[in-house]
């Protein structure tokens, strides 16, 4: 399957790409399918069945709410985050679901929202939606939220796309070795190669406009995070820190002022914390490539744009395209889903992508870029996904700040070399896949092991 940069970077809402964005998209697709089949008026009941990780941490990740909003015809890139609470409160009070935004259907949360202690074979993040009429089942579909907001229907698994429906890319690659070979053979950079591939879907003007829209959403998310104070929702009483840190960094009399390496790292921390606090609060953000790791790429890109006086929109485009190249490799050859391979698939992939993007705009050769991405991912191998309370807060928020700094350091190390190194990016990605396969399910987004349990024991 050909993967676009706009598959990896999607505007959505928090707190989770696999548990919030994906399920909302699935439910909205289900409502749309009912409308297209002319079945809306016949629906008398809708049942939501959540399996695996979607069930285990679904409430903490707002999966249940996301499904309800999607069934109401809402999409994660369009919904106003401020409208969510009133919509859900009205539904629960009136016990009436406005299916696709127009068809009233009786909905009893305790009866119709089922969090099941079982898993489906294809992927840990699974959900089945059933629409019933007077004579029984009208339509049913099982969806898998496979990370980064991507969804796969059971029908797609049972009947894969034909080759005629697939996009043919001028520079198809499925490994870093192939990517490097193509760059060398055609004398292009990673971002130039990616731009040529993206033109298989849309014009270059549309690509640039779309990527700059993504960058604007990232900037808005950071700005909101630096402005908003208070306690994050969910019951852990986690205090927001970004706004206070921002105020501190703006005080010229303090030691952490612009001009020192320490100060630069403080700003990187700030940008990452701001994004992930907004995500945890259910705000508008960009999956990059997931919500749980959404702060890393914006933090590194903000770092470059803030501290490089000559930075421009062309750099933003090149950064995101190069980052996406590595994201494609991670998704094709391993996973970006915490429920599938642990947090190495989320934070590790994002760290590697951020390193690739920064290396590109700093003038790295393609081998140096691959080296930077390899260093960044290698030192996230084995990272577990063990969110306390099933919330994308502890350790997720701080983990993004640490990984953003790690990405920058990976680039600094790679730029001091010539691109030659011992372990290839392809080997590290395969190792991430194999490590994830060996990792116990308790450490893959279920909140049944690791720090999640340590917090309960304390």
Delineate the domains of the chain, giving CATH numbers in brackets. 17-154 (3.30.1330.90), 176-457 (no CATH)
Q: At which residue do the structure tokens 């993504």 appear?
A: 214
| pLDDT tops 70 at residue 165 | no
pLDDT at 166: 76
Question: What stretches of 91-216 adopt beta strand conformation (E)?
Answer: 96-99, 103-106, 113-115, 125-133, 136-147, 150-153
Q: What is the DSSP letter of 240?
A: P
Assign 163 a pLDDT band (cuts: 50, 70, 90): very low
| pLDDT tops 70 at residue 348 | yes
**How many percent of the chain have pLDDT more than 70?**
96
- What's the CA gap between 395 and 397, in Å, rounded? 6
Average pLDDT of 251-265? 63
Average pLDDT of 74-95? 95
Closest CA to 17 of 137, 125, 133, 161: 125
pLDDT at 1: 77
pLDDT at 458: 47
Q: Quick check: 58 and 64 in contact, CB under 8 A?
A: yes
| pLDDT tops 50 at residue 164 | no
Average pLDDT of 252-264? 60
| pLDDT tops 50 at residue 76 | yes
Dump pLDDT digits (tens) for 408-438: 999 999 999 998 899 999 999 999 999 999 9
| pLDDT tops 90 at residue 303 | yes
Residue 164 CB-half CA count within 13 A? 0
Assign 252 a pLDDT band (cuts: 50, 70, 90): low
Listed range (119-123, 193-197, 272-276) with the worst mean pLDDT: 119-123
Dump pLDDT digits (tens) for 238-249: 999 999 999 999
| Paired strand residues for 131 | 46, 139
**Taking the model in full, what pTM does it have?**
0.91
Average pLDDT of 331-354? 96
Q: Quick check: 47 and 132 in contact, CB under 8 A?
A: yes
- What's the CA gap between 63 and 21, in Å, rounded? 9
Q: Is 247 helix (H, G, I), strand (E, B) or coil?
A: helix
pLDDT at 261: 64
pLDDT at 212: 98
pLDDT at 57: 85
Q: At which residue do the structure tokens 């485009």 appear?
A: 317
Closest CA to 123 of 23, 40, 202: 23
Question: What stretches of 175-217 adopt beta strand conformation (E)?
Answer: none
| pLDDT tops 80 at residue 136 | yes
**How many percent of the chain have pLDDT more than 90?**
88
Render 323-339 in DSSP notation, one character per residue: HHHHHHHHHHHS-S-HH
Residues contacting residue 342 through CB under 8 Å, at least 6 positions apart: 382, 383, 384, 385, 435, 436, 439, 443, 444, 445
Q: Is 219 helix (H, G, I), strand (E, B) or coil?
A: helix
| pLDDT tops 60 at residue 448 | yes
Mean pLDDT of the chain: 94
| pLDDT tops 80 at residue 160 | no
Average pLDDT of 14-35? 96
pLDDT at 257: 47
What would the two tokens of residue 47 be? 């049942």
Average pLDDT of 93-99? 97
Chain mean position to CA 319: 17
Closest CA to 447 of 24, 16, 14: 16
Q: At which residue do the structure tokens 């691109």 appear?
A: 419
Q: Quick check: 374 and 425 in contact, CB under 8 A?
A: yes
């Amino acid at each position: 399957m050909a993967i676009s940069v706009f598959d990896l970077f999607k505007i959505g809402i928090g707190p989770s790409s696999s548990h919030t964005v994906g399920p909302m998209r699935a439910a909205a697709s289900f409502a749309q399918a009912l409308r297209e089949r002319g079945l809306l008026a016949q629906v008398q009941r809708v049942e939501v069945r959540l399996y695996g990780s979607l069930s285990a941490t679904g409430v903490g990740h707002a999966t249940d709410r996301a499904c309800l909003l999607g069934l109401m015809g809402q999409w994660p890139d369009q919904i106003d985050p401020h409208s969510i609470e009133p919509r859900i409160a009205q539904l629960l009070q009136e016990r009436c679901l406005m299916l696709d935004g127009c068809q009233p259907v009786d909905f009893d949360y305790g009866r119709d929202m089922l969090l099941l202690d079982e898993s489906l074979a294809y992927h840990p993040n699974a959900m089945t939606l059933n629409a019933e009429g007077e004579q029984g089942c009208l339509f049913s579909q099982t969806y898998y939220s496979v990370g980064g907001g991507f969804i796969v229907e059971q029908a797609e698994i049972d009947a894969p796309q034909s080759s005629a429906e697939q996009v043919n890319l001028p520079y198809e690659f499925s490994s870093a070795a192939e990517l490097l070979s193509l760059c060398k053979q055609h004398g292009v950079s990673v971002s130039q190669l990616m731009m040529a591939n993206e033109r298989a879907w849309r014009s270059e003007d549309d690509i640039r406009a779309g990527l700059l829209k993504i960058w604007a959403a990232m900037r808005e998310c950071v700005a909101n995070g630096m402005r908003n104070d208070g306690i994050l929702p969910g019951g852990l009483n986690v205090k927001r820190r970004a706004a206070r840190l921002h105020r501190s960094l703006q005080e010229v009399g303090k030691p952490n002022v612009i001009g020192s390496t320490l100060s630069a790292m403080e700003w990187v921390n700030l940008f990452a914390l701001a994004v992930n606090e907004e995500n945890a609060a259910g705000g508008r953000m960009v999956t990059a490539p997931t919500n749980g790791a959404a702060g890393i790429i914006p933090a590194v890109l903000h770092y470059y744009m803030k501290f490089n006086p000559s930075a421009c929109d062309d750099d933003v485009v090149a950064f995101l395209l190069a980052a996406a190249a590595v994201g494609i490799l991670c998704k094709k050859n391993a996973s970006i889903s915490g429920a599938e391979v642990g947090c190495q698939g989320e934070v590790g992939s994002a760290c590697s992508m951020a390193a690739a993007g920064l290396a590109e705009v700093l003038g790295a050769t393609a081998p140096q870029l691959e080296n930077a991405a390899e260093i960044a991912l290698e030192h996230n191998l084995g990272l577990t996904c063990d969110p306390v309370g099933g919330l994308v807060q502890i350790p997720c928020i701080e983990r993004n700040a640490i990984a953003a700094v790690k990405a920058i350091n990976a680039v600094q190390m790679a730029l001091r070399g010539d691109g030659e190194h011992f372990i290839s990016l392809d080997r590290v990605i395969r190792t991430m896949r194999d490590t994830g396969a060996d990792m116990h399910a308790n450490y893959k987004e279920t909140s049944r092991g690791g720090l999640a349990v340590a917090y309960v024991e304390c």
